[in-house]
Structure 1
Amino acid sequence: MNLPLRALFVFGAVILVASAHAELPDASRFGRAMELGDIRSASRWLEEGLPPDFEADVSGSGLMIAAAEGNIRLMELFVEHGADIDYVSRIGEQAIALAAWKGRQQAVEWLIERGASLDPPDKTWSALHYAAFAGRTRIVDLLVRKGAKIDARAPNLATPLMMAVREGHEDIVRALVEAGASTTAVSDRGENALAWALRYNRLKIAGLVAPPEQVAEAVNAEPAPAAPVRPPAPVASIPAPPAVTELLKKLRLAEAQGKPTDALRRQFMAAVDAHRKASARQAVKAAPTALVISAKRGKAGGERAELVAGAATPAVQTLADDAGAADILRALTAAQAAGQPTEELRRRFRAAVDRIRVQP
């Protein structure tokens, strides 16, 4: 059967339109658009068949990105299209945890009102872990009031209390202890909150998680034999310098809008190079800070920049003169394991602890 020419034209046009609508974003493009809050694109993609829990390349699902940005309208859009409010990403995160980490209290409340679980599967980072780690006091209080599991266990068996101790958030430590958090729970390395307080030089906080005599006994105890080497714990990240961050934002916006990006990319790489050189000139002592920037020349679309703060175990011979108690203790443990003299390190450790005791 032969179709009229007009019918063939209309049929062909329908096929072209359908093909255009079927062009859904890849994970990278999707992530950039959601970070920019591009609700129009999100709505169009969802209407054209994008799975509601589709994950970006690095940031999780659309709902999770929206929660981290505190974008309630975007959160509503994904939930209306069937997004799982308790969806766990491929790296084990949930929307409510990211909202808590970024301090997006309104987003946390919105998720709780719609039935978001406060307790993920066991050995998963919970919203309370993230809020305690990031020092989000009001969100910690909210989660505790709403019934979050106060002694939830992370993959390394750390509790929210341990995370607050690690980062030195005294108010949160006090609030969690008063709410009944266990001070004796131990991590996968057999360390409790007191051990973490001493490791990270938190002598004042140590008094909140253990009685004075126990703190004194722990401080004066002989260092335990070195434990088997384990992979380092995740380190905290802080934003890149404003110039780099602003250029990266402009670059992402131009990409999302389909505008030329060559000039912006050159500016971005110049700012990255300048910051790398400045960072290389900084003096590094007991707790170095590493610059991690994934931007590579000739590879468009993959630019990311952040500073990662972490402490490395100092060598006995190169321990800085102004090293803190935690660094000295690590050096002391390493020296003991290597069969090296430890008398001078023990003296320095006790002196460092004495200095902390007299601080207001």
Structure 2
Amino acid sequence: MCLGVLAAAMVLVPAAHAGAYDDFFKALQLDLSQSVKSLLARGFDPNSVDPERRDPALVYAVRFESLKVLPVLLSSPQINIEARAPNGDTALMVAAYKGEKEAVALLLEKGAEPNRPGWTALHYAAASGSVEIVKMLLEKSAYIDAESPNKTTPLMMAAASGKTTVVELLTAEGADQTLKNDRGMTAHDFAVKFADVTKPASMGLPMAY
């Protein structure tokens, strides 16, 4: 009898854990802050990984724009604010790309690092055209000429996306317009190739000679 009870318990424990796991990510997706708070209080790992995309919980919450659960996750002493998705994105990078100013502000306040090797939140903010987020990141000492693995800079990203206001801001803040990526392309070249060919001059980008 005792062995039977033990065997049943061994089956129920993983099932219960799986149920909590499903509940946790559903609560993140639906932005149910109280549910997330309750699960964390019961010892659920705030750095758990989504079974489909393999996103850490913090990145997952930002992808779903779940702004109510974000401060709950960040209040956990165990949270890894720099946890990365399989593609290398952090929560700050995803928030910057999606133009989520509130999320970016909160993540920066909690100590998220804007600078890292490779792609950065500033690259993403520049590409999405969020002037406010670009300013937030620069105020936190984001490196204005950060280079991606192929040496693309935030200015190049903004130029390629036709984000004139961001190009003007980055240029005014001292972004180097003469830098080239590993294919020899400058920000002006990006604007010509990926945007309207009439835009580079209006963006104030120098012609490449």
Residue in structure 2 matching 1:77, options 53, 72, 77: 72
Structure 2 residue 124 is the aligned partner of structure 1 residue 97: no
Query: What's the CA shift for 1:162?
Result: 0.7
Structure 1 residues 97 and 110: CA distance shift in structure 2, 3 A: same
- Distance in 1 (CA, whole Å) between partners of 2:193 and 2:11 is 62
Structure 2 residue 174 is the aligned partner of structure 1 residue 180: yes
- Distance in 2 (CA, whole Å) between partners of 1:146 and 1:137 is 14
Which residue in the other structure is 2:83 paired with? Answer: 87
Structure 2 residue 46 is the aligned partner of structure 1 residue 52: yes
- Distance in 1 (CA, whole Å) between partners of 2:58 and 2:161 is 28
Partner amino acid, structure 2, of 1:131 = A
Which residue in the other structure is 2:112 paired with? Answer: 116
Does structure 2 retain, via aligned residues, the 8 Å contact 1:69–1:104? no
Partner amino acid, structure 1, of 2:75 = E
Point out where structure 1 has 5 or more consecutive residues left out of the alignment. Answer: 218-360
Structure 1 residues 192 and 116: CA distance shift in structure 2, 3 A: same
Does structure 2 retain, via aligned residues, the 8 Å contact 1:158–1:186? yes
Spell out the pairing of 1:163-174 with structure 2 (5 A cutoff).
163-174=157-168
Normalized against structure 2, the TM-score is what? 0.81
- Distance in 1 (CA, whole Å) between partners of 2:19 and 2:70 is 20
Kindly provide the CA deviation profile for residues 146-177 of structure 1, in whole angstroms up to 9, marking residues without a partner as x.
Answer: 21111112232211111101110101001001
Structure 1 residues 15 and 111: CA distance shift in structure 2, 3 A: same
Which residue in the other structure is 2:17 paired with? Answer: 22
Structure 2 residue 35 is the aligned partner of structure 1 residue 67: no
Partner amino acid, structure 1, of 2:103 = A
- Distance in 2 (CA, whole Å) between partners of 1:17 and 1:45 is 21
Partner secondary structure for residue 142 of structure 1: helix
- Distance in 2 (CA, whole Å) between partners of 1:85 and 1:48 is 21
More deviation, 76-85/18-27: 18-27
Kindly provide the CA deviation profile for residues 5-62 of structure 1, in whole angstroms up to 9, marking residues without a partner as x.
Answer: 9xx8xx87x94897254335668x8655422224455345445554322222227221
Partner secondary structure for residue 46 of structure 2: coil
- Distance in 2 (CA, whole Å) between partners of 1:115 and 1:91 is 21
Structure 2 residue 147 is the aligned partner of structure 1 residue 153: yes
Partner secondary structure for residue 22 of structure 1: helix
- Distance in 1 (CA, whole Å) between partners of 2:32 and 2:173 is 40
- Distance in 1 (CA, whole Å) between partners of 2:142 and 2:63 is 19
- Distance in 1 (CA, whole Å) between partners of 2:120 and 2:197 is 26
Partner amino acid, structure 2, of 1:146 = K
Partner secondary structure for residue 69 of structure 2: helix
Which residue in the other structure is 2:102 paired with? Answer: 106
Partner secondary structure for residue 108 of structure 1: helix
Structure 1 residues 93 and 201: CA distance shift in structure 2, 3 A: closer
Does structure 2 retain, via aligned residues, the 8 Å contact 1:31–1:58? no
Which residue in the other structure is 1:139 paired with? Answer: 133
- Distance in 2 (CA, whole Å) between partners of 1:53 and 1:80 is 12
Kindly provide the CA deviation profile for residues 235-273 of structure 1, in whole angstroms up to 9, marking residues without a partner as x.
Answer: xxxxxxxxxxxxxxxxxxxxxxxxxxxxxxxxxxxxxxx
- Distance in 1 (CA, whole Å) between partners of 2:34 and 2:139 is 36
Higher relative CO (Cα under 8 Å, sequence separation at least 6) belongs to 2
Q: CA RMSD in A?
A: 3.0
How many residues end up aligned between the 2 structures?
201
Partner amino acid, structure 1, of 2:151 = L
Partner amino acid, structure 2, of 1:61 = P
- Distance in 2 (CA, whole Å) between partners of 1:178 and 1:151 is 13
Point out where structure 2 has 5 or more consecutive residues left out of the alignment. Answer: none
Q: What is the identity percentage for the equivalent residue pairs of Structure 1 and Structure 2?
A: 29
Does structure 1 retain, via aligned residues, the 8 Å contact 2:24–2:39? no
Partner secondary structure for residue 68 of structure 2: helix
Normalized against structure 1, the TM-score is what? 0.49
